[in-house]
Amino acid sequence: MRGSEFDEAEFFRAIAESEARALLIGRRALVALGIPVLTADYDFWLHIDDMTAFNTAVEPQGLFPTHTPDEARGKGRYVLENDERVDVLVARTVPTVDGVRVAFDDVWGRRRALDIAVGVAVAVPALDDLILTKRFGGRPKDFEDIRLLEALRKEDA
Amino acid sequence: MKPVTPPGPEARARLRLLAERQLSPEEVRAALAQPLGGAEEEESRSLIRWFRRRYPTAATRLAYARRAYRRWRAATPPE
């Protein structure tokens, strides 16, 4: 499938209808919340038991996993790709670079829903949790994004 | 006006390494301790206000991001 044929609304609809516990994280989540940053891919943090449902949902969009669910469980992440790229984190807990352990179940419990189309919502972490996920990476651009998220928090206060 | 020469592959690779490098624990602590304020905060909030005003829904913001990325790719010399 060519990138230009990728139907983003349909992509999010399929994920929502799959009932996979999938959180949109990364820069695409920043964009959805209202921060204009450049990004190439989609990042999700997915419940470790929901890989098959998620993979099946996005397969009609021409996205195929680089690893089997068993391999991905061992690595804690995998990628779905074709002309689009979807990075998927599947660890139950992830440490931040400064040592805070973040559990998927806790973040899922505090999630927010953002409407993408009529009847279609994507789940994103609460703002504090999204900031924590930005501390998983520890790259300079992650900390630039944290500062933008802090500005968003002040804007919404 | 002198035309801008895009950076070559080596310069782009160096920039990518800088942007993707892992910060040390000391750098992380310093980054997290730096309070947001002043001109940086106002510029960031102004940008967010513009973006939300111009693209009021998550769907329109996501569509904007896809267009912006395509424009950036088109303007970036091949590796």
Domains of chain A, residue spans: 3-151
Residues B58, A24: contact at Cβ < 8 Å?
Answer: no
> How far apart (Å, rounded) are the C-alpha atoms in residues A31 and B64?
9
The reply to whether CATH 3.30.460.40 applies to domain A3-151 is yes
Residues A20, A57: contact at Cβ < 8 Å?
Answer: yes
Query: Hey, which residues does A81 pair with through a beta bridge?
Result: A64, A85
Put simply, the answer to whether B22 touches A139 (Cβ < 8 Å) is yes
Kindly report, residue by residue over A93-140, the tens digit of the pLDDT: 999 988 899 999 999 999 999 999 889 999 999 999 999 999 998 899
Please say if the pLDDT value at position A2 is more than 70. Answer: no
Mean pLDDT of the A44-60 span: 97
Put simply, the answer to whether B19 touches A150 (Cβ < 8 Å) is no
Kindly report, residue by residue over A62-90, the tens digit of the pLDDT: 999 999 999 999 999 999 999 899 999 99
Specify the DSSP element, H or E, that contains A137: none
Give the pLDDT score at B79. 67
| CA geometry: angle A62, A65, A69, nearest 5 deg | 140
Please say if the pLDDT value at position B50 is more than 90. Answer: yes
Kindly report, residue by residue over B1-36, the tens digit of the pLDDT: 777 777 788 888 888 888 888 888 888 888 889 988
Please say if the pLDDT value at position A4 is more than 60. Answer: no
Mean pLDDT of the A49-57 span: 97
Backbone angles phi, psi at A27, to 5 degrees: -65, -30
> How far apart (Å, rounded) are the C-alpha atoms in residues B36 and A42?
27
Please say if the pLDDT value at position A1 is more than 50. Answer: no
Amino acid identity at A68: T
Put simply, the answer to whether A116 touches B59 (Cβ < 8 Å) is yes
Query: Hey, which residues does A114 pair with through a beta bridge?
Result: A122
Region class of B4: left (phi > 0), else alpha (psi between -120 and 50), else beta = beta
Mean pLDDT of the A31-45 span: 96
A vs B, Cβ pairs < 8 A, gives 93
Give the pLDDT score at B7. 79
- Confirm or reject contact between A144 and chain B (CB < 8 A): no
Measured between beta carbons, the chain B residues lying within 8 angstroms of A131 are none
Give the pLDDT score at B18. 87
Q: Which of A35, A148, A40, A94 is nearest to B41 (CA)?
A: A148
Mean pLDDT of the A54-62 span: 95
Tokens of A47: 């419940």
| % chain A with pLDDT above 90 | 89
Q: Which of A74, A12, A46, A49 is nearest to B66 (CA)?
A: A12
Query: Of how many residues is chain B composed?
Result: 79
Put simply, the answer to whether A34 touches B57 (Cβ < 8 Å) is no
Measured between beta carbons, the chain B residues lying within 8 angstroms of A2 are none
DSSP code at position A99: S
Give the pLDDT score at B37. 86
